[in-house]
Structure 1
């Protein structure tokens, strides 16, 4: 039985749960679907339940859509896999001519009205730091080959950090080449989260001011699923990913829901929503803090420029949520 079906059943006996459902953006299933699922263990809204037990390996496609963004279905969820480390570290040429950072508004720089006064309260890191984009790595014929030592997701993390700083939020951005660390240690790619965990734990031991943590990635699904157009510009759609192997994952879900709510209020349709996983690593170092999230920013067919635009929007909502939690009135 799915979580939403279970909540729907409880709501019949506990009316107060209806308030929670609304605040958490939970869309309850139809009564007819509840009856079918309870009787057969098949979810009419998730066709995968019909064939999961019949096709070997299909159970690995286990992502649960906690909040589905505009147009997002289970067909838009990628299968979490670990490419061979030698593929990740392979030398590839990247298209750099198109990497000129797009000009930002040239309005006179102003001091932010709010500031963390030098305290670094946000930590940004990149477990799969070499994740790149096929438009920038022309030799990549498959998503598993779209990796680069320089033109990669760490550039998006640096941009997100810059945008947060512009909004008065102190940021620490880690760009450690985790792939190289794995190679030096003789470890396979699926040890990436063990390496990044050490990085996160060291950061919070050295800086007790860290409040929010974000592990940035790019997804492996198609451009059609990961691109949003607004005011004539295209954006890489963000997707919040939760690891259900964290025993307190519901707290991380609530944090993701808060950010997703702000995105939907201001930029309807931009977010792909919130997904939870129970296979693969499925913990993502989120047991370290309830304010630690994995964010997929776009996909392998997006561009760095599209990801930069999204980073600027994410900085806006992250900053506002930080000040909200700090008890500072909105400006």
Structure 2
């Protein structure tokens, strides 16, 4: 009790985060003490060690999981901590220790040669004139892909034109094909950071200004999607389904604001829709919070805010566009289903 902060509140979310890693068998054991029906379940359930449970509650260390000890003892490693809410076969222990970071801003701003095959260019589609309800933006707008750069070092996978913004443009085209009005932000967040004298880790502060301004200007916008590429190698960010190669997708939710469950609900729904038709294409849904993480990702601005990681630095635009088309199908189904409910 003495470890509680003065700001901690006795709420369901507080107890949820406190007990989330406890074994299911503990709760079944507690229920069975009051309701004999649960005693039947206990026959096939691992017995609970009261001593181990108390130790876990007091120290947050699980004796059967070495990672929980490491995270408490090594300074700085907490920046890698996240909660896996929904997991697929593609989200393994390597992903558990991945961390969204970037090289020094000066390196990102360097000029680099790029190549883009004609077939990998975005197809031209006449902009949709209907109301714009979806806003796409890129907090890390210069994130690029090594197959399209004359570079081999992942730290050099950045470019001022051939980058993740092309993926956002592809998504705009695909959503407008499905009669959803979209606005794509073209702010160069990296240049904005440089102008302000800020660092890469302040990217979300910069993009927050952009999102907040557009929300004031257009009250018809309903969904806000921040699109990134992951910092993992190809074998972790690529999936072959029916002989076609896709870049994987990961949903990231900031857990450091009070209404994050609403953002989490949308992310989980979209993950499930994708997984129904393309098993394993979505690596899952994770939440990030605590010291060293942004923990909000501007998602406190709207309950309909999303952050998605598409592919990694070794994926190609062909693979990314294939995944964007799948995501557009899933999102449009969710979008129109939600509209029906609202009506």
> What is the TM-score normalised by the length of structure 2?
0.81
Counterpart of 2:4 in structure 1 is: none
1:315 to 318, 323, 328: 328
Conserved 8 A contact 1:204-1:210: yes
Conserved 8 A contact 1:33-1:43: no
1:155 aligns with 2:166: yes
Conserved 8 A contact 1:252-1:292: yes
Q: Say what the alpha-carbon RMSD is for the aligned residues.
A: 2.8
Conserved 8 A contact 1:102-1:305: no
Aligned counterparts, 1:111-150, within 5 A: 118-141=130-153, 143-150=154-161
Q: What secondary structure sits across from 2:175 in the alignment? A: helix
1:95 aligns with 2:111: no
Name stretches of at least 5 consecutive residues in structure 2 with no aligned partner. Answer: 1-17, 33-44
Q: What secondary structure sits across from 2:174 in the alignment? A: helix
CA distance in 1: counterparts of 2:327 and 2:242, whole angstroms: 17
Q: How many residues align?
A: 304
Counterpart of 2:209 in structure 1 is: 198
Aligned counterparts, 1:63-82, within 5 A: 63-77=82-96, 78-82=98-102
**Cα deviations across residues 136-164 of structure 1 (Å, max 9, x unaligned)?**
122241x2221000110000000001000
| Offset at residue 293 of structure 1 (A) | 0.8
Cα distance change on mapping 1:31 and 1:50 into 2, 3 Å: farther
Counterpart of 2:10 in structure 1 is: none
**Cα deviations across residues 241-279 of structure 1 (Å, max 9, x unaligned)?**
011112211111111111011011111111000111113
State the structure with more CA Rg: 2
Counterpart of 1:254 in structure 2 is: 265
1:297 aligns with 2:310: yes
Cα distance change on mapping 1:197 and 1:309 into 2, 3 Å: same
CA distance in 2: counterparts of 1:94 and 1:169, whole angstroms: 32
Cα distance change on mapping 1:51 and 1:311 into 2, 3 Å: same
Name stretches of at least 5 consecutive residues in structure 1 with no aligned partner. Answer: 16-29, 110-115
Counterpart of 1:58 in structure 2 is: 77
Q: What secondary structure sits across from 2:179 in the alignment? A: coil
| Offset at residue 7 of structure 1 (A) | 7.7
Cα distance change on mapping 1:44 and 1:192 into 2, 3 Å: same
CA distance in 2: counterparts of 1:33 and 1:268, whole angstroms: 34
Q: What secondary structure sits across from 2:120 in the alignment? A: coil
Q: What secondary structure sits across from 2:340 in the alignment? A: coil
1:212 aligns with 2:223: yes
Aligned counterparts, 1:214-229, within 5 A: 214-229=225-240
Counterpart of 2:297 in structure 1 is: 284
Q: What secondary structure sits across from 2:245 in the alignment? A: strand
Cα distance change on mapping 1:33 and 1:138 into 2, 3 Å: farther
**Cα deviations across residues 25-57 of structure 1 (Å, max 9, x unaligned)?**
xxxxx7568964553333467541132233333
